[in-house]
Amino acid sequence: MTNPPTLARGASLTAATWEDFRNRLEHDCIGPGVDRHHTADPVFCVQSKAYVYGLEDLYGGTQVACSADGESVHENPLDFYNHALGEEEQALLDQTALDAHGERFADIHLREQWRLLGDLKNVNVTNRAEHWRHVCSHFTREAAEAFIARKGHDYRDGLRIYVEAQPYSWEINAIREAIISGRLVLNDHLPEAQCTMGSGPAHAAASTLKTACRIHTEFMINRYLIANTHGRWDGAEKAQRHIELCKFYVAIFTGVMLDDVLLADEFERVHEATQALTDNMDEVIGFPLESRPDYDRLAPLFFEHFHALAVEALQMAPQAVPGAEPDPAPPAHPTAGRKLAELVAQGYEPCGVMIQRTNADCTVTRGAVSDGGMVIWWHPEHPAVEQDIEVDESLERRAARTGKAEVQ
């Protein structure tokens, strides 16, 4: 049976998942779920178990035996004897116990077992103390449980949910209360003017560019998703496709040739920024870790996130997107500014880095204003000009004598 989509497991924000989230929040904060943690201001923290080793007896802790490689750690000497030692080491311990106490290792006093284990060359007997490290926080218990189910294999010593009461986290509490009461709602039907970032030529160019990027990256994105699929995982292709995507965005926004992109500072910035998506696809777009992905649904989600991260990393504001015609920047030098103003008054129009005017005879006069205010006009190619050239008489005589012409 397929579980319904939920924000707790990384589903997209929709009217259905928002309502599910609001219901779970109400259950955990003012409903029956409060009985498990006894606070109306909970934050559900996931913590990982960790240990501090090497404590002296004076500072407490639990006595443990550790193998030299750290792979085997046991709080009971007999467990270490049975599970961490080879037959030769077990025989050595038994013989040592027989010589010292007349009994095998398993039959001697616990204190003597610890002492004999500590005498072995590749065994360290010490004290350790347990503590818990913060991993992440969630609004609801179900979200914390989903994280443990999804990522628990990465924490060998275990995870737990610890509920912290946060009565003085006023911003979090105000948002939580507004969601539960219905004052803070999801609005998927904003007017178009409020949903778009700007309008006019710049916005149209940004939209066109985004569509072009989606078309060009479609193959790379689908191959990247396939390389992450359970049973088809391919680390080499994952790295290759991620690099290809980053190279494309750096090249398209900076104008650097693809062969030179890897040397550009922007490449590292885009590659690092987009790892927020590529390293957490299960959380960001709901990519399944152990089942077949729905590529038709996931590819557009991947593109939207990757495009946003890459553009943000390149610091491309919507009005600066390539293809949009920006307003002409004023010249740096005041003289150039005055000269440009005079030309505009005469009917010339700025056109990129040039100025131009259409004349009455339908010809076009073009030019440019330098930083110092000098106007450089563009003219069609001039016809050849005849020139009188004076020739050195000595050259004429030498040419007549040798039959060859020399040019100085």
Pick from 241, 214, 213: which is nearest to 227 by CA? 241
* CB neighbour list of residue 123: distance below 8 Å, 6 or more residues apart: 65, 66, 67, 68, 80, 117
| 13 contacts 186 by C-beta, under 8 angstroms | yes
Q: Quick: pLDDT tens for 300-343.
A: 999 999 999 998 888 653 334 445 454 444 444 555 666 777 77
pLDDT classification of 54: cutoffs 50, 70, 90: confident
Q: Quick: pLDDT tens for 287-300.
A: 998 888 888 889 99
pLDDT at 227 > cutoff 80: yes
* CB neighbour list of residue 48: distance below 8 Å, 6 or more residues apart: 132, 133, 135, 155, 157, 158, 159
Calculate the CA 116 to chain-centre distance.
52
pLDDT of residue 318: 39
pLDDT of residue 197: 46
Segment 169-185 mean pLDDT:
93
pLDDT classification of 69: cutoffs 50, 70, 90: confident
The most confident of the ranges 52-66, 134-148, 322-336, 364-378 is 134-148
Q: Over the range 346-382, which residues count as b (16 or more CB within 10 Å of their CB) and which as e?
A: eebeeeeeebbbeeeeeeeeeebbeeebeeeeeeeee
pLDDT at 258 > cutoff 70: yes
pLDDT of residue 31: 92
Listed range (77-86, 251-260, 375-384) with the worst mean pLDDT: 375-384
pLDDT of residue 266: 87
318, two tokens? 């919507």
Segment 353-359 mean pLDDT:
73
Q: Average pLDDT over the chain, rounded to whole?
A: 80
Please state the domain extents for the chain: 7-47+131-181, 53-127, 198-320, 334-378
pLDDT of residue 169: 93
Task: Measure the N-to-C terminal CA separation of the chain; round to a whole number of Å.
Answer: 94
Share of the chain above pLDDT 70, in %: 78
pLDDT at 395 > cutoff 70: no
Q: What is the largest CA-CA distance in the chain?
A: 129
CB atoms near residue 21 (< 10 Å): 21
Higher pLDDT, 135 or 124: 135
pLDDT classification of 245: cutoffs 50, 70, 90: very high
Segment 46-56 mean pLDDT:
88
pLDDT of residue 389: 45
Segment 84-110 mean pLDDT:
88
pLDDT at 76 > cutoff 60: yes
pLDDT at 135 > cutoff 90: yes
pLDDT of residue 6: 92
Instruction: Give the span between the Cα atoms of 178 and 172, in whole angstroms.
Output: 10
pLDDT at 89 > cutoff 60: yes
pLDDT classification of 194: cutoffs 50, 70, 90: very low
Share of the chain above pLDDT 90, in %: 30
Pick from 131, 54, 120: which is nearest to 64 by CA? 54
pLDDT at 406 > cutoff 70: no
pLDDT classification of 230: cutoffs 50, 70, 90: confident
